[in-house]
Chains A and B, each alone.
Chain A
Amino acid sequence: DTGVSQNPRHKITKRGQNVTFRCDPISEHNRLYWYRQTLGQGPEFLTYFQNEAQLEKSRLLSDRFSAERPKGSFSTLEIQRTEQGDSAMYLCASSYKGRQETQYFGPGTRLLVL
């Protein structure tokens, strides 16, 4: 069991650029969650998938954000026209259908928008 992996671990970009992050969940975990964590705060829910279906999106997820999980395995989170306020740690978590309530987190992708 290799755990949840996220790439890249760090990303520095200029305001207005697009960025894409990838999350690979634990094998056979059917649910995948994205959270955002800003400095000094706890993580906040962004969106989640069950298999390839996106079941819920937070109002934090503006229309500049899009997430996909095309084959029900890995997921991508894209931010278009980045703003300085997007600077944060983006965390991915997954859970197994026999134990949906327990989420396992990846190491996160830290985004800095200059």
Chain B
Amino acid sequence: AQSVTQPDIHITVSEGASLELRCNYSYGATPYLFWYVQSPGQGLQLLLKYFSGDTLVQGIKGFEAEFKRSQSSFNLRKPSVHWSDAAEYFCAVSHMEYGNKLVFGAGTILRVKS
């Protein structure tokens, strides 16, 4: 069965500090990989995605993520966090063999302290 694990439920970082959010997946084949962000009471906004090619992908708002096949991981990073980055972050996987339906992790809540 496909699954996504985000081991950190909450993370607190200081404004200006670097950030790394972890994501591991279990899937039959190499899936498509995504990071979404959700502000309270809102829908999901796509930050970045990986399908193939360069394993380091750049997204919006200064985020990047690195795909590591050997570790089945797709960690999200940002070199300097801003207070407006406080939100919940979801890692997700999909594959066209399964209708591209997304399988999400449980999310990581990011708190930014000033």
Contacts and interface: CB of A to CB of B under 8 A. Distances in A.
Contact of A42 (B42, B94, B96, B105): B105
A55 B98 CA distance: 11
Contacts of B96: 100-101
B32 A43 contact: no
Nearest to B91: A42
Interface residues of B, number: 24
Nearest to A102: B49
A25 interface: no
B106 A43 contact: no
Interface stretch (A11-19, A62-70, A80-88, A105-113): A105-113
A105 B66 CA distance: 23
A106 B32 contact: no
Contact of A41 (B44, B100, B101, B107): B107
Nearest to B36: A105
B102 to A, nearest CB: 6
Contact of B104 (A40, A43, A55, A56): A43
Interface of B: 4, 32, 36, 41-46, 49, 51, 90, 92, 94, 96, 99-107
